[in-house]
Amino acid sequence: MIAFHRTALAQQLVQALQGRSLMGDAHNGLFLAAPRRTGKSTFLQGDLAPALQQDGVEVVYVDLWADTRRDPGTLIAEAIAQALQSHLGLVARTAKKVGVKSVKVAGALDIDTSKIGQIDGLTLVDALRSLQQAADRPVALIIDEAQHALTSEAGEVAMTALKSARDQMNKPGQVKLMLVMSGSDRDKLLRLVVNAGAPFYGSQIQALPPLDTDFIAHVAELVEAQRPDLVPVDRAGLQLAFAAFGHRPQFFMAAMGAVLSPLSGGSGRFEPALQQAAQDQQAQDEAQMESDYLGLKPTEQAVLWRMLDQGPRFRPYDAEALRFYREKLGRPISVQQAQKALESLRQRTPALVWKSARGEYAVEDAAMHRWFQVRLEGGKWPPATEQGDLPFDDE
Ligand SMILES: Nc1ncnc2c1ncn2[C@@H]1O[C@H](COP(=O)(O)OP(=O)(O)OP(=O)(O)O)[C@@H](O)[C@H]1O
Ligand SMILES: [Mg+2]
């Protein structure tokens, strides 16, 4: 497995987070969106976190998808508590050695050493402030899949607490708490920043740039080093294939491995085979979405259709939506029926629909929007079963 590092990008973000770049608002929180499997977590953990640490920043990383059964609020609290504990552990050990029982961190916050490691009693704001003082350096909290915090009330509360910690700890020219939030769906992340009631109202969502020409050049060099018979590798061809793989390195590298394998039986150039593999993958992804859609009950299909059609404007039960369902199904649908359909879209594995603690809905996989759009423009919406059945028969 190869690891390609994006050092320059990480450096730029470090500067921005510390409020050192002239423009931008990253010191108020950096919100990064990029599609699934495009390398967000790898970048945050492998490039951004080390760059921050090198710059003298204490980094706390938490992935809210690490365990979806646990409450996002708890996961955030635990990650902070763990970092705090390792620092207090040191302070406490030193204190013990010289015979001191109570620990005062940096002269400001009293920490009851018996509570070390427990976040309860200590609010998130206090915990972050204690961590900053105990570490005696600025703190960066990186929350991966941050949109997941909005699916529970405790998660929402945690987000509001983080906003408040940021406002208390940062002053112009002095950033002590940096917040980085990432997610695979821009629309969902938007709910953290977009309306006046949102915790980070006023912040912008940035697109984390996909891996691109530098990554392709790196891969091409690796191939050329290993297979002198293939020099020069067609970089433009690789680039096209990578784009067709949706800039997802995992699928791209797997296909590279397959077409370059001595077992592939291919002769001549490997680049066309790679592009073919990319098209096959795309067709396979689309076939999966189609079969998921066709496997739904008619009411579920209608609700999902509306959601794909409306995007962030989707309101499941307004008069327009109910009219839409009736029109597509040829019979009226009650609010309860629509509700039931939404619930079962959410309960499927894998879930097709995401719901926030405030009752907002979105499709789980943003790639579905593109699939819908392409089919719509190609006159191929809605998908129909092979036998040519109308998808909206009886239930
Ligand atoms: N810079 C990179 N160099 C090489 N491979 C990479 C790089 N970034 C990501 N990958 C590979 O791509 C795959 C997905 O990466 P990662 O988990 O970081 O993506 P993600 O966007 O966080 O995905 P998810 O949406 O599932 O959370 C992994 O198999 C990883 O090894
Ligand atoms: Mg990830």
Ligand lying closest to the C-alpha of residue 42: 1
| Topology of domain 7-207, CATH | Rossmann fold (3.40.50)
> Is pLDDT of 107 > 50?
no
Ligand lying closest to the C-alpha of residue 46: 1
Residue nearest to atom 25 of ligand 1 (CA): 36
> Is pLDDT of 99 > 60?
no
pLDDT on residue 268: 77
Residue nearest to atom 28 of ligand 1 (CA): 250
> Is pLDDT of 298 > 60?
yes
Average pLDDT over residues 76-98: 75
- Give the pLDDT confidence of 310-335 residue by residue, as tens digits: 998 999 999 999 999 999 999 999 99
Residue nearest to atom 16 of ligand 1 (CA): 39
Contact 148, 64 (CB under 8 A): yes
Contact 155, 70 (CB under 8 A): no
Number of residues that this document lists for the chain: 395
DSSP-derived secondary structure for 200-226: TTT--EEEPPPP-HHHHHHHHHHHHHH
Helix (H, G, I), strand (E, B) or coil at 188: helix
DSSP-derived secondary structure for 221-256: HHHHHH-GGGPSP-HHHHHHHHHHTTT-HHHHHHHH
Using alpha carbons, select from 136, 159, 133, 134 the residue that is nearest to residue 62: 159
Distance (angstroms) between ligand 1 centre and the Cα of 346 equals 26
Distant-in-sequence, close-in-space partners of 71: CB < 8 Å, separation ≥ 6: 152, 154, 155
Distance (angstroms) between ligand 2 centre and the Cα of 31 equals 14
Is the peptide bond between 350 and the residue preceding it cis, with omega within 30 degrees of 0? yes
Ligand lying closest to the C-alpha of residue 38: 1
Using alpha carbons, select from 373, 353, 360, 245 the residue that is nearest to residue 292: 353
> Where does residue 283 fall: left (phi above 0), alpha (psi -120 to 50 degrees), or beta otherwise?
alpha
DSSP state of 26: G
Ligand lying closest to the C-alpha of residue 216: 1
Contact 66, 145 (CB under 8 A): no
* Mutation probe of ligand 1 site: the residue of 1, 37, 208 with most atoms within 8 A of C-beta: 37
Average pLDDT over residues 377-385: 93
Helix (H, G, I), strand (E, B) or coil at 321: helix
* Mutation probe of ligand 1 site: the residue of 68, 144, 213, 250 with most atoms within 8 A of C-beta: 250
pLDDT on residue 1: 76
- Residue 47 alpha carbon, nearest atom of ligand 1: 1
* CA–CA dist 65, 394 (Å, integer): 38
> Is pLDDT of 61 > 70?
yes
Distance (angstroms) between ligand 2 centre and the Cα of 34 equals 10
Amino acid 145 reads E
* CA–CA dist 362, 300 (Å, integer): 14
Name the H helices within the chain. Answer: 7-17, 40-43, 49-54, 72-97, 124-135, 153-169, 186-190, 213-226, 235-244, 249-260, 271-294, 298-310, 319-329, 335-347, 367-377
Distance (angstroms) between ligand 1 centre and the Cα of 273 equals 23
Helix (H, G, I), strand (E, B) or coil at 182: strand
Residue nearest to atom 15 of ligand 1 (CA): 39
Is the peptide bond between 332 and the residue preceding it cis, with omega within 30 degrees of 0? no
Residue 354 φ/ψ, nearest 5 degrees? -110, 140
- Please list the residues that pair with 59 across neighbouring strands: 140
* Whole-number Cα distances in Å, 89 to 59, 81, 112: 17, 11, 12
Distance (angstroms) between ligand 2 centre and the Cα of 79 equals 17
**Which residue ranges have their beta carbon within 6 Å of ligand 1?**
2-4, 34, 36-42, 184, 211, 249-250
Ligand lying closest to the C-alpha of residue 211: 1
Distance (angstroms) between ligand 1 centre and the Cα of 208 equals 13
- Give the pLDDT confidence of 245-281 residue by residue, as tens digits: 999 999 999 999 999 988 777 677 899 999 999 999 9
Sign of CA dihedral 13, 17, 23, 24: positive
At 84, is the pLDDT very low, low, confident or very high (cuts 50, 70, 90)? confident
Among 153-162, 303-312, 319-328, the least confident range:
153-162
- Greatest mean pLDDT among 21-30, 53-62, 128-137, 353-362: 53-62
Distant-in-sequence, close-in-space partners of 383: CB < 8 Å, separation ≥ 6: 290, 293, 294, 375, 391
Q: Average pLDDT over the chain, rounded to whole?
A: 88
> Is pLDDT of 394 > 80?
no
The two tokens of residue 38 are: 């495009």
The alpha carbons of the chain give a radius of gyration, in whole angstroms, of 25
pLDDT on residue 116: 44
Distance (angstroms) between ligand 1 centre and the Cα of 209 equals 13
Residues 295-377, CATH architecture: Orthogonal Bundle (1.10)
Q: First-to-last CA distance in the chain?
A: 48
pLDDT on residue 206: 93
Distance (angstroms) between ligand 1 centre and the Cα of 27 equals 26
* CA–CA dist 124, 200 (Å, integer): 16
* CA–CA dist 185, 147 (Å, integer): 8
